[in-house]
Amino acid sequence: MSPLVVWPEHFDLSFLLFATELPSESAPHMNFGFAPYSPGFERPYLYAYAYPLRPGYQTPSLPPPVYWNTTPWTGSVLRYDDIGAAADPEAFTEAACEGIYHAQLKRLRTG
C-alpha cells in the first residue's frame, strides 16, 4: 500500500493498494480516495478504481448509492452528500467501501 498522497489537480487525497509485489502505478492496483471537487463533480465524493481493467470488463455490482462512473475516468463514486444523509455515516461508509473493494478487486488484471 502506498502512503496517502495529495494530488494537486483537484486536491484529492488517496492511496494505492497494490495487487502484486511491485509498488508501481503501472502495476495492478486499486486507488481509493476523497476529492473535494473535480470537473463534473461539483460536490465532494469518495472514489475508487482498479487499474488496469481487464479487456471486456463488465460494470460491477456496487452497493447503492455507489455508482459506476465512466467519464472522464472509470471507477466507483460515492457522493459525500449520501454519506452525510445516512443514519450512521461511519457504518454506511465502511460497508460501502468494503463493497467497492470487493467489486473493484475483480477488475484487476492479475496475470
What ranges do the domains of the chain cover? 5-105
Which residues are CB-contacts of 72 (< 8 A; sequence separation ≥ 6)? 39, 40
Tallying the residues shown for the chain, one arrives at 111
Instruction: At 16, list the grid cell.
Output: 494505492
State the pLDDT at residue 110: 46
Evaluated on CA atoms 93, 62, 109, 44, the torsion sign reads negative
Kind plus residue range of the DSSP H or E element containing 93: helix 89-105
Choice between 65 and 108, residue whose per-residue pLDDT is larger: 65
Amino acid occupying residue 70: T
CA 77 to chain centre: 7
Strand partners, 75: 69
Which stretches within 10-88 are classed as H helix?
Answer: 80-85
**pLDDT tens, 45-93?**
999 998 887 777 788 889 899 999 988 888 999 999 999 999 999 999 9
